[in-house]
């Protein structure tokens, strides 16, 4: 039996939201393939490695839905697909990141195709 295997706590929902992610060295875009409040599967433009710490900004499709800003740790990686576990971001950092995303990421959906 694989002792490293751990069952996911909450079911992930298949969604496609644009995502911005950075480790401080690179800043790039991707798209979620499934997601929940604790993590998700990402298809990105930049390859990452297991254990890498990221800041992620998930752009949700409706103006009523707030932008989700979190810290994330890469749990697994295979090519340009990877899984992340989410954790919180201090409120001041979240507002700064949201302001930055509005300036830097207009037309994010069009960049993905």
Instruction: Evaluate whether residue 106 is within a structural domain.
Output: yes
What is the CATH number for 39?
2.40.10.220
pLDDT in tens, 19-73: 889 888 888 999 999 888 788 999 999 999 999 999 888 877 776 666 777 889 9
Specify the pTM. 0.70
Instruction: Evaluate whether residue 68 is within a structural domain.
Output: yes
Angle ∠(25,40,29) on CA atoms, nearest 5: 40
Instruction: Evaluate whether residue 67 is within a structural domain.
Output: yes
Instruction: Evaluate whether residue 5 is within a structural domain.
Output: no
pLDDT given for residue 1 in this prediction: 46
d(CA 102, CA 94): 12
pLDDT in tens, 77-112: 999 999 999 887 667 666 766 666 665 555 443 443
Instruction: Evaluate whether residue 4 is within a structural domain.
Output: no
Instruction: Evaluate whether residue 26 is within a structural domain.
Output: yes
Instruction: Evaluate whether residue 66 is within a structural domain.
Output: yes
Instruction: Evaluate whether residue 51 is within a structural domain.
Output: yes
Q: How far apart are the first and last CA of the chain?
A: 41
Q: Looking up tokens 């990105």, which residue turns up?
A: 44
Cα distances from 55 to residues 1, 9, 82, 113, in angstroms, run: 34, 22, 14, 23
Number of domains in the chain: 1
The domain of 61 spans 13-110
């Amino acid at each position: 039996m694989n002792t490293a295997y751990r069952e996911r706590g909450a079911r992930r929902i298949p969604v496609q939201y644009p995502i911005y992610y950075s480790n401080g060295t690179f800043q790039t875009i991707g798209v979620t393939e499934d997601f929940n409040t604790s993590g998700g599967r990402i298809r990105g433009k930049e390859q990452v490695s297991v254990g890498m710490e990221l800041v992620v900004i998930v752009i949700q499709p409706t103006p009523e839905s707030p932008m989700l800003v979190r810290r994330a740790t890469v749990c697994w990686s295979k090519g340009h697909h990877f899984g992340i576990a989410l954790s919180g971001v201090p409120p001041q950092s979240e507002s700064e990141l949201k302001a930055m995303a509005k300036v830097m990421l207009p037309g994010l959906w069009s960049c993905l195709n």
